[in-house]
Structure 1
Amino acid sequence: MTVTIYDVAREAGVSMATVSRVVNNNPNVKPQTRKKVYEAIERLGYRPNAVARGLASKKTTTVGVVIPDIANAIFAEVARGIEDIANMYHYNIILCNADKRKEKEIRVINTLLEKQVDGLLFMGGAVTDEHLQAFNTSNVPIVLCATTDEKGAMPSVDIDHESAAFDAVQRLIAEGHRKIAMISGTLQDPANGYARYQGYKKALEQAGIPFDEDYVRIGNYRYESGIEAMQHFLGLSNRPTAVFAATDEMAIGAIHSIQDEGLKVPEDVSVISVDNIRMASMVRPQLTTVAQPMYDIGAVSMRLLTKLMKKENVEQSRVVLPHELIVRSSVAALQ
């Protein structure tokens, strides 16, 4: 049989109100009484009913998190930042994988809102009108994490993806490269895709380097698409001397593709990217990349959400965190 608060009160010889105060960490309970209640809880195996407490307080102390790809290491780092801050403020997390599919993202958003979460963190690709419609039906705060909406109407935490890509390509240009290819993400993705593509083009334009469509391949952010894109570049008669990949995982695929052809990185082809996942320092040669502060993005997003959930004053609802070029050994000066 389910153990109730009434059973605990009878076992401890106190009122149900006293048990409730102990369970909710109310300080207005004598130490000896608190000890007696905890002993009764342990003997009976009582667990407070979170659903009932949520109905009474209209708060579930639960936050929904929509993640694009749970297998991608970079999102694991964001999730860690979210979890640490959630624990600090005594919130539980419901983590949902949406596979970067719009229809699944919408379904997951609605499911989480139906579960009466107190707030929602959304990590995804493009924030479409369908997403905004789902968000607008919510009566709880929503923060965009590692993405933004085009109109800038929603609270968000991210980096400047165009600037990060610009800095990466500019590094290649500074090393004397002019035949620079790009392995891009989908251009429908406003941050990791389109913005980084725009940063690549802007760096070329500023340096007076003509844009060449043969030097751009669209990948899906994963290792295999980096291999495929690099195979295309290596097959060109006018082979690029350097490659900028929109993500580290695609960059690592490019490095392995170059090495499979008997060529060397960076002696024959330099490779640079954005993200700075753990594998960037494990691959050989180690990957030069622009680091996103992924843990901080998760942590700051969750902290912003806690402020909105508690109706605290928020001075800045759109936060842009700094990125940093991490120089390793996959880029060399053109001989």
Structure 2
Amino acid sequence: MTVTIYDVAREAGVSMATVSRVVNNNPNVKPQTRKKVFEAIERLGYRPNAVARGLASKKTTTVGVVIPDISNATYAEVARGIEDIANMYHYNIILCNADKKKEKEIRVINTLLEKQVDGLLFMGGTVTEEHIQAFKTSSVPIVLCATADENNTMPAVDIDHEKAAFDAVQMLIDNGHRRIGMISGTLQDPALGYARYHGYKNAMEQAGLPAGDEWVRAGNYRYESGIEAMKYFLSLKERPTAIFSATDEMAIGAIHAIQDEGLRVPDDISVISVDNSRMASMVRPQLTAVAQPMYDIGAVSMRLLTKLMDKESVEQAKFTLPHEIIQRKTVAQLS
């Protein structure tokens, strides 16, 4: 049978109120009484009912996190930053995978809110009107993590994806490349898709270089789509000398497709990406990439959420964290 607070109180010879004060770390309990209660808890194997405590305090010390793809190393790093700060502020995490599918994201958001979480961190793709409507039904704070809504109305932590892509392509241009193809994400995705595509296009146009549809192939962020996109570029009569990929995973697919054709990276074709996940340094040759501070994005998002949950004064609710290019071995300088 389930051990209750009444059983602990009877075993320790104290009131239920005293047991409650001990469990909730109330300082107004004598050390001797506290010791007696903890001994009773240990003997009986009592575990406080978190749901009941939440109903009484109107706080569950639980935060819901919606993650697009739990198998993606990039999002795993964000989740690590979230978890570390959550632990620091004594919050538990409920992590839900949504597969970047709108219907599933909406369902997961509603499920987490029904479970009375104290706050919500949303890592997803496109923040649609349906998402905004679901967020509006929430009585708890919500922070967008590694994404943003189109109108920039919600608290959010991210990088400048357009500038990150621009800087990556500009590096290729500075190294003498003129025929630069892009493996993009879906253009309906405002961050990984459209913003990074827009950064690529701006860099190319400012340099007076071709950036038409024939130079862009959309992938789905996965390794296999990087292979397929690269096969297209390799089939061109005048193939690119460099590839900019919207993500590391697609970039690695591109590298392997190049190598499968007996060509070399970067001697024959250079490759650069955005993300700088662990895979970037594991592939050979090691991948040059724009580094997103993924751990910091998670940590800053969680810290912002703790302030909103505690109703602290927040002067800034939107944070754009810096990025940097990590130069490795996949970009060659053309003479």
| TM above 0.5 | yes
Counting only pairs closer than 5 Å after superposition, residues 75-224 of structure 1 correspond to structure 2 as: 75-224=75-224
Alpha-carbon distance in 1 for matches of 2:158, 2:29: 44
Distance 1:265 1:211 in 2: 22
TM norm structure 2: 0.99
Q: Percent identity at matched positions?
A: 83
- What amino acid maps onto 1:252 in structure 2? I
User: Which residue number corresponds to residue 272 of structure 1?
Assistant: 272
The match for 2:307 is 307
SS class of match (1:302) = helix
Once structures 1 and 2 are overlaid, which stretch shifts more, 32-41 or 128-137?
32-41
Partner Cα distance (2:75, 2:179) in 1: 32
Q: What is the one-letter code of the residue matched to 2:64?
A: G
- For residues 83-140 of structure 1, what are the alpha-carbon distances to aligned partners after superposition, in whole Å with 9 as ceiling and x for unaligned? 1111111111111110100011001101111111110000001110000000001110
Instruction: Name the Cα RMSD after superposition.
Output: 0.7
The letter of the residue matching 2:177 is H
Provide the secondary structure at the position in 2 that maps to 1:38.
Answer: helix
User: 2:179, 2:210 within 8 Å by CA — same for their partners in 1?
Assistant: no
Deviations 1:189-208 (A, max 9, x none): 00010000000001001111
Q: Does 1:326 align with 2:326?
A: yes
CA distance in 2 between counterparts of 1:45 and 1:211 reads: 66
2:50 equivalent in structure 1: 50
Per-residue deviation, residues 242-271 of structure 1 (Å, max 9, x unmatched)? 000000000000000000000000000000
Q: Which amino acid aligns with 1:131?
A: H
Report the Cα offset of residue 213 of structure 1: 1.6
TM-score, normalised via structure 1 length: 0.99
SS in 1 for 2:95: strand
Q: Which runs of 5+ in 2 are unaligned?
A: none
TM-fit CA distance, 1:212: 2.6
The answer to whether the aligner puts 1:298 opposite 2:302 as a matched pair is no
Name the structure 2 match of 1:284: 284
Deviations 1:32-63 (A, max 9, x none): 22111111001001010111111111111111
User: 1:161 is aligned with what amino acid?
Assistant: H
Q: What is the identity, as a one-letter code, of the residue corresponding to 1:294?
A: M
Match of 1:233 in 2: 233
Amino acid paired to 1:167: D
Q: Distance in 2 between matches of 1:333 and 1:76?
A: 33
Partner of residue 74, structure 1: 74
Deviations 1:169-220 (A, max 9, x none): 0000000000000000000000010000000001001111122321100000
Please tell me the residue identity of whatever aligns with 2:203. A
**For 1:279 and 1:91, how far apart are their aligned partners in 2?**
30
AA partner of residue 58 (structure 2): K
Tell me the distance in 1 between the aligned counterparts of 2:37 and 2:324: 53
The aligned counterpart of 2:259 is: 259
Measure, in 2, the Cα distance between the counterparts of 1:100 and 1:321. Answer: 23
Q: Could you tell me which amino acid in structure 1 is paired with residue 163 of structure 2?
A: S
With 208-217 and 319-328 compared, the bigger mean Cα shift is at: 208-217
The letter of the residue matching 1:314 is V
The amino acid that maps onto 2:12 is A
Stretches of 4+ aligned residues off by more than 3 angstroms: none
| 2:11 corresponds to 1:11 | yes
Any idea what SS the aligned residue of 1:228 has? helix
Note the C-alpha offset of 1:241.
0.1
Aligned length, in residue pairs: 335
* Partner deviation per Cα, 1:137-186 (whole Å, 9 max, x = no partner): 11100000000001111000000000000000000000000000000000
Deviation at 1:312, TM superposition (A): 0.3
